[in-house]
Amino acid sequence: MTSLAPRARNRMAKERRILDSALKVFANQGYSGASMDAIAALAGVSKPTLYQYFGSKEQLFATLMVEQRDSMLGAFEEPDGLGLVAELWAFAWHYADTVLHPDFLSLARLTIGEAQRFPEIGRAYQAAGPERVLRGMMDYLNAKKAEGLLAFDDAELAAEDLWGLILSAPRNRALHDAACLPKRDDLHRFVTNGLRVFLKAYSTNPGHDLAQLTALAEQGPTTGTP
């Protein structure tokens, strides 16, 4: 189906290699610190090829950021009918694993570090990443509110509370200290506590939901991919 002429396939493969190399170099050295030489060498292509494919350092950077942003933040996944608490539990771990993945953190550091020089990139990142997740979460929370399981006035604030309660602390720490990825146990603490506070504040049946949460938490950290 999607079979391409060998020419085009070759071109795409090279493009991929360049983008991958560029990500590594940019993430490690920052925009200004990265050199086209380093990227070309890591990709195993010559520098003119780089320029033929991407025009300039700035364009390469922009292309890369767009591409990464789209590929790393998968769509918000509709949870699968396990009930409120189990669904929130799954959601929390899924986003923790995504957002605290070293590659994702490197990208976030890059975006933040260059936000002043490349404002559009930062803004686009926000729009495509966090805000999309937020909207997905809002829809989900609104559905649960309609089912009578949650109670709140402002779905956006509720969604942001959820993120802030669970991910703010470990993410901030990891952003500033690249060597300090939260351990699985710490994460378990943050997830459990964050959900507990969330349910206390928003559940219409906190007794039941907190009990369920405790049960889930007792099974220990969910094993993830990071």
Partner DNA sequence: TATGAATGAGCATTCATTCAT
Partner DNA sequence: CATGAATGAATGCTCATTCAT
Nearer to its own copies, 79 or 129 (CB): 129
Q: State which of residues 157, 185, 211, 214 lies at the interface with its own copies (CB under 8 A).
A: 157
Binder of residue 194, out of its own copies, DNA, none (CB less than 5 to 8 A by kind): its own copies
Nearer to DNA, 44 or 102 (CB): 44
Q: Residue 89 and residue 209: Cα distance in Å, rounded?
A: 11
Q: Residue 186 and residue 195: Cα distance in Å, rounded?
A: 14
Tell whether residue 35 is a contact of DNA (CB under 7 A): yes
Q: State which of residues 18, 165, 187, 195 lies at the interface with its own copies (CB under 8 A).
A: 165
Nearer to DNA, 45 or 65 (CB): 45
Q: Residue 57 and residue 139: Cα distance in Å, rounded?
A: 39
Binder of residue 197, out of its own copies, DNA, none (CB less than 5 to 8 A by kind): its own copies
Q: Residue 116 and residue 38: Cα distance in Å, rounded?
A: 24
- Binding piece for its own copies, criterion CB under 8 A, among 1-9, 60-68, 85-93, 114-122: 114-122
Tell whether residue 11 is a contact of DNA (CB under 7 A): yes
C-alpha pair distances (Å), 72 with each of 12, 75, 106, 142: 19, 9, 12, 26
- The residues, any chain, with a CB within 8 Å of residue 184's CB and separated by 6 or more, are 221, 223, 224
Q: Residue 191 and residue 197: Cα distance in Å, rounded?
A: 10
Q: Residue 209 and residue 213: Cα distance in Å, rounded?
A: 6
Nearer to its own copies, 32 or 46 (CB): 32
Helix, strand, or coil (residue 150):
strand
Q: State which of residues 52, 168, 172, 214 lies at the interface with DNA (CB under 7 A).
A: 52
- Binding piece for its own copies, criterion CB under 8 A, among 10-18, 36-44, 80-88, 194-202: 194-202
Contact 81, 95 (CB under 8 A): no
Contact 166, 98 (CB under 8 A): no
Q: Residue 88 and residue 94: Cα distance in Å, rounded?
A: 10
Nearer to DNA, 30 or 102 (CB): 30
Q: Kindly list the residues in this chain that would bind its own copies in the complex (CB under 8 A).
A: 27-33, 106, 109-117, 119, 122-123, 125-126, 130, 154, 157, 160-161, 163-165, 167-169, 172-173, 175-180, 189-190, 193-194, 196-198, 200-201
Residue ranges that bind DNA, judged by CB under 7 A: 6-7, 10-11, 14, 34-38, 45-49, 51-53, 56-58
